[in-house]
Amino acid sequence: MADVCSLRSVEKSQCIYVCVLLLVLTSFASGLDTCIEVKSAISQKGLDENEVPVKAISGSDLAICPHSESCCTQTLENQLTLHGRKEHTAQLNKTFNLIQRTFIHRRRKFDEFFKDLITHAAQGLDEMFLETYGVLYRQNDHIFGALFNQLRLYYGGEDMNLMSVMQHFFDNLLIKMFQLINNLQVTDDRYMRCLTDNMDKLKPFGDVPTKLGTHVQRAFIAARTFVQGLAVGSRVVA
């Protein structure tokens, strides 16, 4: 439907353009015995001035030009229509190309900006935790690396639930912390599953998982929607 409406809008604009052009040309004939000025105007448009009659003639068989006497003929009318459509299409393409380049440029800049934010966040967290926990953190940094990889995949278009991603991260973090703190206690998968299933009751991290998950979800949904919208926009005007 949008394409049909757009096409009709273009056709209407072309018609208006041609009408104005023809009316301007025919106005030269008003009060004149010859069509010299019209021949000159037609020549400047790159059309054949020989199609212009020497004197104003009846326009009873014309579709756009006035039906009274004018310097317009059916052949000239058709040529001007084609010429007007060509010029109008060229102007539209020029405008659309500019809009498309704008969409592409802004999408690329935002994409680079947001990916840099993710990278800097990962690096900043890595440096802070390494300085605080040293080798203990380095031996388990894959938990954090997996989280940021999931976030990158989501931003890139992967279909996943970010709240579930964050929950999975804190589940793994809880298990690893429990194992490190209780390294002498023997536990099995069933015990660990019970531990994570009751995280909402135990709240080992307080309300951090919920708050952080909400903030991450809002930021990434907005960023992904925005960058995808810019990509769609560049294709629509192509």
Ranges of each domain in the chain: 2-94, 140-236
Dump pLDDT digits (tens) for 19-46. Answer: 545 554 554 444 445 688 888 888 888 8
The confidence score (pLDDT) of residue 43 equals 84
Residue type, 233: G
Close Cβ partners of 187 (under 8 Å, ≥ 6 residues apart): 178, 179
User: Mean pLDDT by 10-residue block, N- to C-terminus, for the chain (238 residues)?
Assistant: 42 52 49 71 83 82 80 84 87 90 95 97 96 94 97 95 95 90 80 86 90 96 96 87
Structure tokens at 236: 């629509």
* Residue count (the chain): 238
The confidence score (pLDDT) of residue 22 equals 52
Is 70:27 a contact under the CB 8 Å cutoff?
no
Rounded Cα gap, residues 83 and 42, in angstroms: 11
Phi, psi of 3 (to 5 degrees): -65, -40
Q: Is the pTM of this model over 0.75?
A: no
